[in-house]
Structure 1
Amino acid sequence: MERERRSPQKKKKANQLPIAAILLVIIIAIGFYLGKFSPNLPMFWLFGILLGVSLRASRYCFTASMRDPILTGGTNLTKAVIVAIALATVGFAAIQYKASLAGQPIPGNISPAGVHVAVGAFMFGIGMVIAGGCASGTLMRVGEGFVMQWLSLVFFIVGSVWGAKDFNFWKPAFMDSGIKVFLPDVLGWFPALVLQFALLLALFVLADWFGNRNNPENTL
Structure 2
Amino acid sequence: MEEEKIQRSTRTRAPRKPKKNQIPIAIVVTILVVAAGVYLGLGSEKLPVYWIIGLCFGFILQRARFCFTASVRDPSLTGSTSLTRAVLIAFAVTTIGFTAIKYGAYINGQEIPGMSSVSPISLPLALGAVFFGIGMVIAGGCASGTLMRVGEGFTMQMLALVFFVVGSFWGAHDMGFWDGVFNTNAPKIFLPDVFGWFGALVVQGLIILLLYIAARQWQKKKMGTAD
**Fold shared by both chains (TM-score > 0.5):** yes
CA distance in 2, matches of 1:168, 1:10: 57
- Alignment of 1:40 with 2:46, yes or no, is yes
Question: 139-148 or 28-37, which moves further after superposition?
Answer: 28-37
Q: CA deviation at 1:37?
A: 1.8
State the partner residue of 1:26.
32
Structure 1: runs of 5 or more not aligned: none
Which of the numbers 95, 109, 121 marks the counterpart of 2:129? 121
State the partner residue of 2:65.
59
Alignment of 1:97-136 (within 5 A): 97-108=103-114, 109-136=117-144
Amino acid at match of 2:188: K
State the partner residue of 1:213.
221
State the partner residue of 1:199.
207
Structure 2: runs of 5 or more not aligned: none
How many residues in Structure 1 have an aligned counterpart in Structure 2? Answer: 219
Q: CA deviation at 1:84?
A: 1.0
Query: Which structure: greater helix fraction?
Result: 2
CA shift digits 1:59-116 (9 cap, x unpaired): 1111111111111111111111111111111111011101211222321122211232
State the partner residue of 2:179.
171
Between the aligned residues of both structures, percent identity stands at 52
CA shift digits 1:9-51 (9 cap, x unpaired): 9987666455434432332222112211222221121111111
CA shift digits 1:162-203 (9 cap, x unpaired): 111111111121123222111111111111111110110110
Give the CA RMSD over aligned residues: 2.5
Return the TM-score normalized by structure 2: 0.86
- Alignment of 1:83 with 2:126, yes or no, is no
Amino acid at match of 2:162: V
CA distance in 2, matches of 1:69, 1:144: 25
* 3-state secondary structure, aligned to 1:177: coil
